[in-house]
Structure formats: structure tokens, C-alpha cells
Amino acid sequence: MTVNASTDLDTLADFFDRYGVALTSGDLPAIAGCYALPGLVVADTYSFSFTSAAAVALSFVGAAPDYQDRELVAAHARIEDVQPVSALLTMVAVEWEFLDSRGQAVPGERYRYLLRMSDDGPLICTVVRTG
């Protein structure tokens, strides 16, 4: 699959927009649909993998109530860096920016996502929390 840089960035922005909506609305099936299987999450003090859509959904069960408790109603992924790794793999650095129910910006976290391009678009293979 050969696409130009602007299409790649548009594709990535659309993907992270869908992912952000799924996260803040607690749409577990949509979140799971954003992941390649098996998938891996890596942070400073833990790592875990999942091999099924159900396992992905279970790992995000606590996220939606957390967003609701913090009154976060929208998430925007600010793409900071895109590094092609191979023909189908891309490493994307993202800073999440959130809006609360009063329309105020709330600082988010930074992640790196290893994405695999599929016939249906990007899928997350690995997530690394970077700050």
C-alpha cells in the first residue's frame, strides 16, 4: 500500500479521532476494534498483553468511569511524530488533549503507538505510555 504523507496523516488523524470518541464514551467494542491481536501495553511499572477482543474490552472497563469522574467529554490526539517502521508498520507519538464538561482543556498523557495498516485501516499493535 503506497499512500502519500498527507493521506497518511489524514488516515492517522481519523483513526485517533475514532479511538478518542470510543475512549471517552466507553464504547468497549469500538475500543477493541482499534487493536490488532495479539496486542501489548507497556508502561514504566507494568506490561500486559491481550489475545482477544474481549480481553481488550476488559482492560478498558475502568477507563470510561475514570473519564466520567474527571468530567472529560472529548479527547483529541495531537500527533507529534510519525515514523514509518516498515511497509505496514508505523510508530506514532501522540499527546492526548481532553476537554471537560465546561469546555476547559485538560492536559493529557503522551503515548507511542505501533500501528499496523490493515485493509480496514490502522490497528494498534503496541501502546507505550511515555509521559
- The whole-angstrom separation of Cα 117 and Cα 87 is 9
Domain segments of the chain as ranges: 5-130
Please, what is the average pLDDT of the chain?
87
pTM of structure: 0.86
Could you tell me which of 71, 37, 67 has the C-alpha nearest to residue 55?
37
pLDDT tens across 60-118, in order?
A: 877 666 777 777 778 889 999 999 999 999 999 999 998 888 888 888 889 999 999 99
Please, what CATH class does the domain formed by 5-130 belong to?
Answer: alpha beta
